[in-house]
Amino acid sequence: MVENQQTNPDDLTDANPDSDACADAATGSTETTTGHSAQASTGSGSRRERLDAWLAGVVAAAAVVFVGSAAFAAAVSQPYLADRTIAANRNEVARAAAAAITTLWTYTPDTIEALPDRAGEYLSGDLNAQYRRLLEAAVEPNKQAQITDNTDVVGVAVESLNGTDAVAIVLANTTATSPLTKNIPSLKFVGYRLAMKQRGSRWRVTKMATISFMDMTPKI
């Protein structure tokens, strides 16, 4: 005999007790997956931001180093260039002074007449006029005596240099020969102080004074 079995409503409610848990687990899994993705995206963005910031810092530091190096180079080069300019000007003065003395006191009987024009390239103002007058009086006697004068500069120094004005000291040996003295050389050691002025690109002598004189001619 079979008994009638009654079904309890509560049994129907809990018929699949694991279904909600499965749903919750699925939902949790989805949330967890989404959370990891968000974290990964956030971490990647942070790394890019840090990289961009690092690159910006490197560029800024390089710019600072470049600007600092340029400023340092300019500061160092300015006195160096100024010194080079002064040295170049002093060399020009020294060369012009040496050339002037060599030209003024070097001639032969055949070249003495053209000497005023050659010397005029190194003289200026009253000194040029004085030198021309001196030669006018000396040309004929020197030609008659067949005097040959040769001057070698043995030392030159720039005493002062102020803009376009300079003073130079020139030491020279002058040798003169003549058939009248049996070509026995007359030897003189002379020191000159030259006041010089820059005219355009050239330095010219405006004043000249003898500061030392020594006659070394052999006594026979």
- DSSP class per residue in 131-178: HHHHHHHHHHHHHHHT-EEEEEEEEEEEEEEETTEEEEEEEEEEEEE-
Mean pLDDT by 10 residues, the chain (220 residues): 40 42 44 45 58 56 49 54 78 96 95 92 93 91 94 96 96 95 92 95 95 87
Q: Does residue 208 form part of some domain?
A: yes
First to last CA, the chain: 180
Domain of residue 140, residue span: 17-220
Q: Does residue 11 form part of some domain?
A: no
**According to the model, what pLDDT value does residue 201 have?**
87
**According to the model, what pLDDT value does residue 27 have?**
45
**According to the model, what pLDDT value does residue 79 have?**
59
Q: Does residue 1 form part of some domain?
A: no
- Alpha carbons 13 and 5: distance in angstroms, whole number: 18
CATH number of the domain where residue 40 is located: 3.10.450.50
Specify the pTM.
Answer: 0.65
Q: Does residue 6 form part of some domain?
A: no
**According to the model, what pLDDT value does residue 122 have?**
96
Q: Does residue 12 form part of some domain?
A: no
* Number of compact structural domains in the chain: 1
**According to the model, what pLDDT value does residue 129 have?**
93
Residue 94, amino acid: A
**According to the model, what pLDDT value does residue 86 have?**
82
At residue 162, φ and ψ (nearest 5 deg) are -130, 95
**According to the model, what pLDDT value does residue 179 have?**
94
**According to the model, what pLDDT value does residue 37 have?**
47
Q: Does residue 78 form part of some domain?
A: yes
DSSP bridge pairs for 214: 189
